[in-house]
Amino acid sequence: MNREEIFEKITEIFREEFDDDTIVIVDATNAEDIEDWDSLAHVEIVMEMEKTFGLKFNLKEVGKLANVGEMVDLIERKLAEK
């Protein structure tokens, strides 16, 4: 799976989580850019990403994520390790 395909799936997750089909995410998108992105939404996003991509993240990995680009990087690394 390439970066573009990962972005497409993550965009779907964000649109579903925030019930907003107009959300557009880029590498730099972070919690400050989406009004309802709080800690609970973050946990739900991470859980949905684990389910969607068939991966497991640990707290240390998730705690370091500063933006969507870093999420995509983490998913790419995890998928490559499979």
Tell me the pLDDT tens digit for each residue of 25-37: 999 999 999 999 9
Give the integer Cα–Cα distance in Å for 28 and 47.
Answer: 21
- pLDDT per residue over 29-73, tens digit each? 999 999 999 989 999 999 999 999 999 999 898 888 899 999 999
Q: CB–CB of 61/20 below 8 Å? A: no
